[in-house]
Amino acid sequence: MAGKGHGGRPSSWLAVIVILAGFTVSGVGLTMGPQWLVVWVGAGVIAVGGVIAMVVDIFSDVVLDTPRQMSAEQREPVTSGN
């Protein structure tokens, strides 16, 4: 499996980091009183991150692995309770 990474492109990670920063700013704004201006600034940052995600086509980073085939002996039986 060498050479196969599931990390995504740097441009996609940029969008994720911007959205995460927006959530952080909004969360801090909510815990500070709430300070609604800070909350809305964070929401704006989240929106900018969403636009970046659409522009870089973040959903094209999805990696589809081939399904694993398991024999009946390899599967564990489902038990209830104990």
Does a structural domain hold residue 73? no
In the chain, count of helices (H) and strands (E)?
2, 0
Does a structural domain hold residue 29? yes
Q: How many domains does the chain have?
A: 1
| Domain of residue 44, residue span | 10-60
Those residues with Cβ within 8 angstroms of residue 50's Cβ, 6 or more apart along the chain or in another chain: 15, 19
Element (H, E) at 73: none
Does a structural domain hold residue 34? yes
Does a structural domain hold residue 75? no
pLDDT tens-digit profile of 9-51?
888 999 999 999 999 999 999 999 999 999 999 999 999 999 9
Does a structural domain hold residue 81? no
Does a structural domain hold residue 42? yes
68 against 24, higher pLDDT: 24
Q: Is 0.75 topped by the overall pTM?
A: no
b (16+ CB within 10 A) / e for 50-81 = eebbeebebeeeeeeeeeeeeeeeeeeeeeee
